[in-house]
Amino acid sequence: MKLWDKGYTIDNIVEQYTVGKDRELDLHLAKYDVQGNEAHAHMLHKIGILNKQELEDTLKGLSEIKAEIEQGQFVIEEAFEDVHSKIEYELVQRIGETGKKIHTARSRNDQVLVDLHLFVKAEIDIIKEGIQTLFGTLLQLSEQHKDKLLPGYTHMQVAMPSSFGLWFAAYAECLIDDVILLKAAYKVSDQNPLGSAAGYGSSFPIDRSLTTQLLGFETMKYNVVAAQMSRGKLEKTVAFALASLAGTLSKMAMDICLYMSQNFNFLAFPKELTTGSSIMPHKQNPDVFEVMRARCNHIQNLPANITLLTNNLTSGYHRDFQLLKEQLIAAVTSTKENLEVCNFMLQHIIIKDELVEDEMYDYLFSVEEVNKLVMNGMPFRDAYQKLGQYILKGKFKPKRRVQHTHEGSIGNLCLKEIKEKMASAW
């Protein structure tokens, strides 16, 4: 069944090429399509298209379809083009001719827009929960390991003292920036496009305020052309937010891969959480974080993909938009998995003790000695040159102690403040 069917059959090669993976992908949107149908039915009743009995029948039929979706029994067969045609067909099968009225004052264009807006809202809420869980784990690890020093690097050269407390808390606070972008994406998605129809509104006296309220949107996309233009813009906005989060996770995954190597040996994981080599019996590889890094880098490319797909399209609908669905759904799914696996792995992380006692980290403390001279009255440039001469002559003997007190430093992690900052970010 095709919602645009006019009594003729198109060539199979055209149908297969244009439908693509919609039947599979639309299963992710099915429950939201039912939700949109329910709100639309209430609105059609208000404007006199459906009488009271027809509304009750329609809602009953949609409730049955929703139950099938929730039970995993809903299937979109090859006879159907997409979820919209399948649900309308099922509705007609259940309630008869009344089911044919459901598409009044509507287009597949605003149907899929509603589905995607509702999908994005729900998925961002789930992603937010995953971030909060990971955030809590990072803060707990920061507090637990706050006294364990860790070499800090610039230009990949030993630079200044850091700590595991500082390192864990850094990624926790970076997640706040990602939440801010996700919140912006959520706000973009929290606008009702239903009623824009094919992008130019309808001559029916529809009540868009009612559907906005029934669907739980904060507001509506008032201008119908602007509503249609949210296709592509919605996906791009979400893509930038997901890419920001992916950037945070990718950088942490890279740190972990580096720190697990024998040359660094800063941390480890139980052997059951690593993988081996087919020919080297000693290997315990960080495959989880290598795959996570790759997945995250793939997500970081999503904004560019969407931009290239939508960049030179005029206002109004184009079938090009169909390709956005697969990329968006895949990125959302991968993001949730990345968060879950990352949190699981960090709960089992093994931190090595007394790393900076090795003589290779002597110069890690050179700045500390410069600062001590300055605090005792020597001008900074003179202190810098004096320590530089000691180092060049091999006379530098560090005292492996740090005394950092300012906000956000090794000795003052501000974990309470970071936690409060995250709470206010959403």
Question: Does residue 33 sit in the same domain as residue 167?
Answer: no
Question: Does residue 113 sit in the same domain as residue 155?
Answer: yes
Question: Does residue 39 sit in the same domain as residue 124?
Answer: no
* Distance, CA of 236 to CA of 305 (rounded, Å): 9
What is the DSSP code string of 321-336?
A: GHHHHHHHHHHHHHHH
Domain-embedded: residue 166: yes
Question: Does residue 141 sit in the same domain as residue 76?
Answer: no
Look-up: residue for tokens 């997500």?
Answer: 299
**Phi and psi, residue 185, nearest 5°:** -65, -40
Known active-site residue 63: no
Among the candidates 75, 101, 127, a domain finishes at 101
Check whether 15 has a pLDDT greater than 80: no
* Distance, CA of 196 to CA of 109 (rounded, Å): 8
* Helix orientation angle between 164-189 and 224-260, rounded to the nearest 10 degrees: 170
Least confident range from 1-15, 39-53, 193-207, 293-307: namely 1-15
In b/e form, how buried is each residue of 44-82, taking b as 16+ CB within 10 angstroms? bbeeebbeeebbebbbebbeebbeebeeeebebeeebbb
Domain-embedded: residue 415: no
Check whether 32 has a pLDDT greater than 60: yes
* Cα atoms in the Cβ-side hemisphere of radius 13 Å centred on 47: 19
Question: Does residue 97 sit in the same domain as residue 157?
Answer: no
Q: What is the CATH number of the domain that holds 23?
A: 1.10.275.10
* Distance, CA of 71 to CA of 69 (rounded, Å): 5
State how far the alpha carbon of 48 is from the alpha carbons of 25, 38, 206, in Å. Answer: 34, 16, 10
Question: Which residue of the set 155, 278, 282, 406 is catalytic?
Answer: 155
Check whether 11 has a pLDDT greater than 80: no
Residue 241, H or E segment: helix 224-260
Least confident range from 140-154, 207-221, 377-391: namely 377-391
* Distance, CA of 323 to CA of 338 (rounded, Å): 23
Question: Does residue 122 sit in the same domain as residue 140?
Answer: yes
Least confident range from 90-104, 211-225, 398-412: namely 398-412
Check whether 9 has a pLDDT greater than 60: no
Q: Is 191 helix (H, G, I), strand (E, B) or coil?
A: strand
Check whether 92 has a pLDDT greater than 80: yes
CA torsion angle 29 35 36 42 (round to 10): 170
Terminal C-alpha separation, the chain? 43
Domain-embedded: residue 312: yes
Q: What is the pLDDT of residues 291-315, one digit of tens each?
A: 999 999 999 999 999 999 999 899 9
Q: How many domains does the chain have?
A: 2
CB 175 within 8 A of CB 89: no
pLDDT (mean) for 79-95: 93
pLDDT (mean) for 128-140: 98
Question: Does residue 124 sit in the same domain as residue 75?
Answer: no
* Distance, CA of 139 to CA of 172 (rounded, Å): 7
Question: Does residue 183 sit in the same domain as residue 254?
Answer: yes
Known active-site residue 189: no
Among the candidates 101, 117, 136, a domain finishes at 101
What's the whole-number average pLDDT of the chain? Answer: 92
Q: What is the CATH number of the domain that holds 226?
A: 1.20.200.10
Rg (CA), the chain: 29
Confidence of residue 12 (pLDDT cuts 50, 70, 90): low
Domain-embedded: residue 154: yes
pLDDT (mean) for 340-346: 96
Nearest to 335 by CA among 302, 357, 287, 358: 302
Q: Specify which residues 150 forms β-bridges with.
A: 162
Q: What is the pLDDT of residues 344-398, one digit of tens each?
A: 999 999 999 888 888 888 888 888 889 898 989 999 999 999 989 988 988 888 8
Check whether 245 has a pLDDT greater than 90: yes
Higher pLDDT, 82 or 281: 82
Question: Which residue of the set 209, 277, 315, 318 is catalytic?
Answer: 277
pLDDT (mean) for 162-168: 96
What is the DSSP code string of 279-290?
A: S-TT--B-HHHH
Question: Does residue 169 sit in the same domain as residue 59?
Answer: no
Check whether 330 has a pLDDT greater than 80: yes
Domain-embedded: residue 138: yes
pTM of the model: 0.91
* Distance, CA of 41 to CA of 61 (rounded, Å): 11
Residues 6+ apart with CB under 8 A from 206: 43, 47, 105, 195
Question: Does residue 118 sit in the same domain as residue 219?
Answer: yes
Q: Is 77 helix (H, G, I), strand (E, B) or coil?
A: coil
Check whether 4 has a pLDDT greater than 60: no
Question: Does residue 91 sit in the same domain as residue 154?
Answer: no
Domain boundaries, position 338: 108-356
Domain-embedded: residue 377: no
Nearest to 112 by CA among 319, 336, 335, 332: 319
Domain-embedded: residue 79: yes
In b/e form, how buried is each residue of 88-110, taking b as 16+ CB within 10 angstroms? bbbbbebbeebbebbbbbbbbbb
Domain-embedded: residue 379: no
**Phi and psi, residue 126, nearest 5°:** -70, -45
Check whether 20 has a pLDDT greater than 70: no
Among the candidates 297, 328, 356, a domain finishes at 356
Nearest to 349 by CA among 264, 251, 267, 257: 267
Question: Does residue 128 sit in the same domain as residue 85?
Answer: no
